[in-house]
């Protein structure tokens, strides 16, 4: 009798598992073996810290317990994507110590832009070039694998490059730099060139075997606290949620053209699978209804400060005997960590909105991002 009951329980569990698989998705789960990411500080897991200067405490304190190369008190959206796929957090390509690339690599660096110039030397072209070198050298090493057995555990398998997920979160710095040094008209005029360069980068990856692309649009630039604080002239151009209207208008136009280009690429590149992710809407939803989600004023930030001059997160300034610094007591109640980047709590909220596919086109969840017309 006991064995029959055990069998019955097992059958119920098995049936539930099968049904859940059929109901929860429109197709097979991807099982991506790796992630290759390209972007700016929104998805940097230590590239800028490795290449330029170390990110200091209290960055990283909430989750990692120490600085982790992220401009955040904890995890960023890319970390949560990796968790959802059952993969380890991505090592930055530029880091030479303690790196493991078995399940992908991160080419994003803080300040990066699509076009050369701006805040960082690591523009998208450079990041694509780094990937191509990484792939080439990995393949060459695998040909000598018998004498390099320890590398098996830290290098990706060559066959995994065509099965990996390629993620993008870039463009914010191009727009921000434009607003800082030019004007709205020039920023809007620059967008077609940005989209063309982005398209060329994707095509290069496709020619290297990439097939699965997860593309984040850019967030509401005008809602970043520093973009309101630094230029008081913008206060006459605020929307009803306190965001700089013309900057958000430019971000929305960038996103419109990006979305159009993504679907043109899908039509042009056989057997490719693109998911366009509306991060803008997720972030703006949080900012526009912050109090109902348990957050403070979205234009306040937790770490760093502005007292007529900027005090960066983790730094102090002493003027006439007064110590200027700022660190909130409860980062989980802040949307903005440092005036530019989002807190871990905000990243968790944003991830919840975007990873289930409700803000994606096509409406694929992360687990369904591999849906394509033919088997590779």
Looking from the CA of 275 toward its CB, the CA atoms found within 13 Å total: 24
| 15-35 tens-digit pLDDT | 333 333 332 334 456 789 999
193 or 375: which leads in pLDDT: 193
Q: What are the catalytic residues? A: 41, 338, 341
19 or 200: which leads in pLDDT: 200
Confidence at residue 144, expressed as pLDDT on a 0 to 100 scale: 75
Confidence at residue 199, expressed as pLDDT on a 0 to 100 scale: 98
Stretch among 23-37, 299-313, 326-340 having the lowest mean pLDDT = 23-37
E strand or H helix at 352, and its extent?
A: helix 344-354
Cα–Cα distance, 108 to 317 (Å, whole number): 30
Q: Is 314 exposed, middle or buried (0-12, 13-18, 19+ CB in 10 A)?
A: middle
Confidence at residue 21, expressed as pLDDT on a 0 to 100 scale: 35
Residue 107 — very low, low, confident or very high, per pLDDT cuts 50/70/90?
very high
* H-helix segments, 34-183: 47-51, 77-84, 124-143, 172-181
| CATH fold of 31-289+342-368 | Rossmann fold (3.40.50)
Please compute Rg for the chain using Cα positions.
22
Phi/psi for 149 (5° steps) reads -55, -40
Stretch among 164-173, 184-193, 341-350, 366-375 having the lowest mean pLDDT = 366-375
Q: What is the mean pLDDT of the chain?
A: 88
Residue 232 — very low, low, confident or very high, per pLDDT cuts 50/70/90?
low
Provide the strand spans (E) within 32-188.
35-39, 104-106, 165-169
b/e burial code for range 124-149 (CB count within 10 A of at least 16 → b): beebbebbeebbeebeeebeeeeeee
SS3 call for 125: helix
Confidence at residue 74, expressed as pLDDT on a 0 to 100 scale: 98
Dmax over Cα atoms in the chain, in whole Å? 83
Task: Give me the percent of the chain exceeding a pLDDT of 90.
Answer: 75
- C-alpha angle 204-208-209 in degrees, rounded to nearest 5: 120
Task: Give me the percent of the chain exceeding a pLDDT of 70.
Answer: 85
347: number of Cβ within 10 Å: 24
Q: What is the mean pLDDT of residues 118-123?
A: 96
92 or 145: which leads in pLDDT: 92
Length of the chain: 376
Q: What is the mean pLDDT of residues 231-258?
A: 89
Confidence at residue 374, expressed as pLDDT on a 0 to 100 scale: 45
Residue 5 — very low, low, confident or very high, per pLDDT cuts 50/70/90?
very low
Edge to edge, the sheet with strand 360-361 lists: 104-106, 35-39, 165-169, 212-216, 273-277, 360-361
In the structure encoding, which two tokens stand for residue 132, read together? Answer: 């191509």
C-alpha torsion angle, residues 33, 111, 226, 292 (rounded to 10): -10
Cα–Cα distance, 71 to 313 (Å, whole number): 9
In the structure encoding, which two tokens stand for residue 28, read together? Answer: 């097979």
Kindly report whether the peptide bond that precedes residue 17 is cis, defined as omega within 30 degrees of 0.
Answer: no
| 253-281 tens-digit pLDDT | 999 999 999 999 999 999 999 999 999 99
Residue 373 — very low, low, confident or very high, per pLDDT cuts 50/70/90?
very low
* Contact yes or no for 369/355 (Cβ under 8 A): no
Answer whether residue 350 shows pLDDT above 80.
Answer: yes
SS3 call for 87: coil
pTM of the full predicted structure?
0.90
| 138-197 tens-digit pLDDT | 988 887 765 556 677 888 999 999 999 999 999 999 999 999 999 999 999 999 999 999
Cα–Cα distance, 39 to 32 (Å, whole number): 20
Answer whether residue 366 shows pLDDT above 60.
Answer: yes
- C-alpha angle 186-187-188 in degrees, rounded to nearest 5: 90
């Amino acid at each position: 009798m006991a064995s029959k009951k055990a069998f019955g329980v097992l059958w119920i569990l098995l049936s539930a598992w099968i049904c859940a698989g059929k109901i929860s998705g429109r197709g097979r789960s991807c099982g991506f073996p790796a992630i290759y990411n390209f972007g700016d500080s929104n998805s940097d897991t230590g590239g800028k810290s490795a290449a330029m200067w170390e990110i200091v405490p209290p960055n990283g304190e909430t989750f990692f317990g120490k600085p982790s190369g992220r401009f955040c008190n904890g995890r960023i959206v890319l970390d949560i994507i990796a968790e959802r796929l059952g993969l380890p957090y991505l090592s930055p390509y530029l880091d030479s110590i303690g790196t493991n690339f078995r399940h992908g690599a991160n080419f994003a660096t803080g300040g990066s832009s699509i076009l050369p110039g701006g805040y960082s030397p690591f523009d998208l072209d450079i990041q694509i070039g780094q990937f191509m070198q990484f792939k080439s050298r990995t393949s060459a090493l695998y040909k000598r694998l018998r004498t390099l057995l320890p590398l098996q555990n830290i290098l990706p398998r060559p066959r995994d490059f065509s099965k990996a997920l390629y993620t993008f979160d870039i463009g914010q710095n191009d727009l921000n730099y434009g607003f800082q040094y030019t004007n709205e008209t020039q920023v809007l005029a620059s967008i077609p060139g940005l989209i063309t360069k982005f398209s060329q980068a994707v095509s290069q990856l496709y020619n290297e075997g990439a097939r699965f692309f997860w593309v984040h649009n850019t967030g509401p630039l005008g809602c970043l606290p520093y973009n309101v604080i630094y230029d008081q002239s913008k206060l006459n151009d605020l929307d009803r949620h306190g965001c700089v209207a013309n900057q958000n208008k430019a971000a929305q136009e960038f996103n419109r053209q990006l979305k159009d280009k993504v679907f043109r690429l899908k039509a042009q590149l056989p057997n490719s699978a693109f998911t366009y992710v509306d991060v803008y809407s997720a972030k703006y939803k949080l900012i526009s209804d912050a109090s109902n989600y348990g957050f403070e004023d979205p234009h306040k930030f937790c770490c760093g400060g502005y007292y007529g001059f900027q005090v960066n997160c983790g730094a102090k300034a002493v003027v006439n005997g007064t110590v200027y610094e700022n660190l909130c007591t409860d980062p989980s109640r802040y949307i903005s960590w440092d005036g530019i980047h989002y807190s871990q709590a905000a990243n968790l909220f944003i991830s919840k909105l975007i990873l289930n596919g409700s803000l994606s086109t096509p409406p694929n969840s992360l687990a369904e991002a591999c849906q394509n017309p033919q088997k590779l």
